[in-house]
Chains A and B, each alone.
Chain A
Amino acid sequence: MGKKILRINMSDMQTSYEDVPEKWARWAGRGLTSAITYDEVDPTCHPLGPNNKVVIAPGWVTGSPAAPSSGRTSFGGKSPLTGTIKEANSGGLSGQKIAKLGLAAIILEGVPKKDKWYTLVINKDGVEFEDASGLIGKGMYDVDEILWEQYPNEPAVIGIGQAGEMKLSNAGISVNDPENKPGRYAGRGGMGAVMGARGVKAIVVDDTDGPGVDIADADLFKQGRRKLTKAIGKHDLTKKDGGLNAFGTNVLMNIINEAGGLPTRNFSAGQFEGAALNSGEKVAEIVEERGGEGMTGHSCHPGCIIQCSNIYPDEDGSALVSCLEYETAWALGANCGIDDLDYIAKMTRECNDLGVDTIEAGNTIAIAMEAGVLEFGDKEGALKTFDEIREGTPLGRIYGQGVEATAKAFGVHRVPTVKGQSMPAYEPRAIKGIGVTYATTTMGADHTSGYTIAPEIAGVGGKVDPLADEDKDALSLTFQAATAFIDSTGYCLFIAFPILDIEEGWAGMAESVAGVTGLDITGDDVIEIGKEVLKMERLFNKAAGFTPADDRLPEFMRYEELPPHNVKWTMADEDLDEVYAWVQED
């Protein structure tokens, strides 16, 4: 039996299970959310209005047996933060359960006629629209707990916190992790506000007795899965007790600092004197010292063999938050001049509870610090900003709109954004390739869209000088295309590291996709298929009004020198324009 598209219309409370049309049959994950958004969402629509949609899609291999680290779920639509197309993907429980219900995607559309909130309960029998009024005003820790008590079989819970209810542009979509905590987020770009605008507080997904995932060619799938699993298990970064498993993504804190590329105090320096105190090594040390529920090597979804997540313990050993990622520890740490992991963990818990993206939240606090509302390093003051958001005060609503709104409100001109979205934890003046990705990606400033850090800093997939401009346009495009493919597979993007170095793993990834889907895909097709996804996204953005003039980094990076290398952003505009020069309308 073929997969179906589940369409849920909140305007008339109707649902339908549709055959996947031919034009979308080859897509999954990000490829599918972008294809549906491209085909069905008016690029000029208001992201919070009735014509936007939330498209939810597991990847090609998600839910298939023992495909390693493949539990990603893509969330797509038009972003209220950037005004561009958006795909944000998350770990957690949702992807595998949606896939095992035989669904290629869920399309959430329309706006309820009454001012009413709903919990959607999806299982093998269909969709129930439940009254969510009892959940309104609650954060995601409570929401996840209540819904697991209310519904059987430990379902996936996709939800929004208070930020999504208020339709703030920094509202993310939460997915519960295996311990039913709200640590996994489709965080970037405000898709939580788009979900809130549909009147949906939560979606409960129970895959019990679902049809499962069809495998077109079991032998090919197993062959690909074996090669990929072997590559992940062999590479020093992703193997058991390797860098990611032992220290999490925050293994990067000291390294990026050493390279002079750690954005510090609102992107005014490339090194932070407190980096070691916020590092992955320090997290591991604290976990060891405090014991209790704290752990490294935590899985964000069942079947992950990399296990880069962690549970950060409070002083008494009880779980304070999962997960303390590099981006989070940087955004709420170095970028705010804060060097106290306990406070960073408390702020991360606030982000997870309220439902805001940690990167945008940290950058927003840094803007408030730059404006003098708070002092850099004021960890108490930083923590209290989340109370403002929770209470929906005028100041909290400004913070919840993210960096650009906050900068305008306080007259700050050093604003580290592209297309309305703030930059992650790599300084583009010191690491030029990632700057090209920030400038040109279809998503607004985003590192995952084209992670040139691999060759520029980590020596993965080659070795390239981070400070050089030359050929960074081509490098970024290659990474952007490969990423668009991997984001469609359902595999965690971190499989990229072993398969960039181990050729057999690259082939195995493609073979496992071909095995599940029956599509004629080999490792040689990855970049071209990824470019097809990028093309749809780029054309959506063009129709939404974006031009190459939007593919630029903020002005201050062109005239302010960044210590310690004392470098400016020097990439020529013409080189940036080359990245997407190949995209033409058919």
Chain B
Amino acid sequence: MIEVNVVVFATLRRYLPDLGIGEEKAIKIEQGTTLTEIRDMLNLPEEEVKVIVRNNLQAEAGDVAQDGDRIAYIPAVAGG
């Protein structure tokens, strides 16, 4: 097992309501788990996840998570 830290923002926070704003959730996963699989484990709807950022870098849904990763699931955002 490895451990990763997950954060969710904006409209996705409703699916992890116990987390404070910007707070991480540590989860244990099997080696080889993809970012998509983690998303599904957390019950984040596929259609609401627009972007995934891993360790501050743009990631692909099929990327395999590594021990200690920080993974951010991001809905549709823009503005400014």
Contacts and interface: CB of A to CB of B under 8 A. Distances in A.
Contacts of A463: 51, 58
A254 interface: yes
Contact of A237 (B13, B21, B72, B76): B76
Contacts of A447: 80
B56 A252 contact: no
A259 B56 contact: yes
Nearest to A261: B56
Given A258-B72, A282-B21, A457 B51 contact: yes
Contact of B80 (A453, A459, A467): A453
A459 B58 CA distance: 10
Contacts of A457: 51, 77-78
A161 interface: no
User: Which of B13, B21, B48, B72 has the most chain A CB atoms closer than 10 A to its own CB?
Assistant: B21
Interface in B46-79: 48, 50-51, 53, 56-58, 72, 74-79
Nearest to A464: B58
Contacts of A497: 76, 78
B80 A236 contact: no
B77 A251 contact: yes
A494 interface: yes
Nearest to A249: B79
Contacts of A243: 10-11, 75-79
Interface string B1-42: 000000101110100000011110000000000000000000
A255 B76 contact: no
A188 B68 CA distance: 43
B77 A252 contact: yes
Interface string A451-465: 101100111100101
Interface in A438-485: 447-448, 451, 453-454, 457-460, 463, 465-467
B21 A254 contact: yes
Interface residues of A, number: 52
Contacts of A250: 79
B76 A460 contact: yes
Name the residue among B58, B72, B80 with the largest chain A CB count within 10 angstroms: B80
A255 B11 CA distance: 12
Contact of B77 (A276, A451, A458, A467): A458
Given A243-B10, A279-B21, A459-B51, A260 B56 contact: yes
Contacts of A424: 80
A466 B58 contact: yes
A564 B53 CA distance: 14
A308 interface: yes
Interface string A274-289: 0111011110010000
Interface in A414-453: 424-426, 447-448, 451, 453
A457 B76 CA distance: 10
A248 B72 contact: no
A236 B75 contact: yes
Given A258-B53, A281-B13, A281-B21, A458 B76 contact: yes
Contacts of A280: 10
A565 interface: yes
Contact of B78 (A282, A285, A458): A458
Interface residues of B, number: 24
A255 B80 contact: no
A141 to B, nearest CB: 25
A247 B10 contact: yes
Contacts of A326: 79-80
B53 A252 contact: no
Interface in A116-156: none
Interface in A323-339: 325-327
A275 B22 contact: yes
Given A279-B22, A285-B21, A459-B51, A251 B56 contact: no
Contacts of B10: 243, 246-247, 251, 254-255, 280-281
B9 A454 contact: no
A242 interface: yes
B39 to A, nearest CB: 15
Nearest to B7: A258
A393 to B, nearest CB: 32
Given A255-B9, A258-B53, A459-B51, A242 B80 contact: no
Given A236-B50, A458-B51, A254 B22 contact: yes
A460 B76 CA distance: 8
A567 to B, nearest CB: 11
A280 B22 CA distance: 11
A467 B74 CA distance: 18
B56 A565 contact: yes
A243 B56 CA distance: 21
Contact of B76 (A242, A260, A308): A242
Contacts of B23: 276
A265 B37 CA distance: 37
A275 B75 CA distance: 18
A583 B39 CA distance: 47
Given A243-B77, A460-B78, A463-B51, 11 more contacts: A236-B48, A237-B77, A237-B78, A251-B9, A251-B79, A252-B77, A259-B56, A281-B9, A282-B21, A458-B51, A463-B58
29 contacts: A235-B76, A242-B11, A246-B11, A247-B11, A249-B80, A251-B79, A252-B78, A254-B9, A254-B22, A255-B77, A258-B53, A258-B72, A260-B56, A276-B20, A276-B21, A277-B21, A279-B21, A280-B10, A281-B21, A285-B21, A426-B80, A448-B80, A454-B78, A457-B78, A459-B51, A459-B76, A460-B78, A463-B58, A494-B79
The 7 closest A-B pairs by CB, nearest first: A249-B79, A276-B22, A236-B76, A237-B76, A260-B56, A276-B21, A459-B51
Interface of B: 7, 9-11, 13, 20-23, 48, 50-51, 53, 56-58, 72, 74-80
Interface of A: 235-237, 241-244, 246-252, 254-255, 258-260, 271, 275-277, 279-282, 285, 308, 325-327, 424-426, 447-448, 451, 453-454, 457-460, 463, 465-467, 494, 497, 564-565
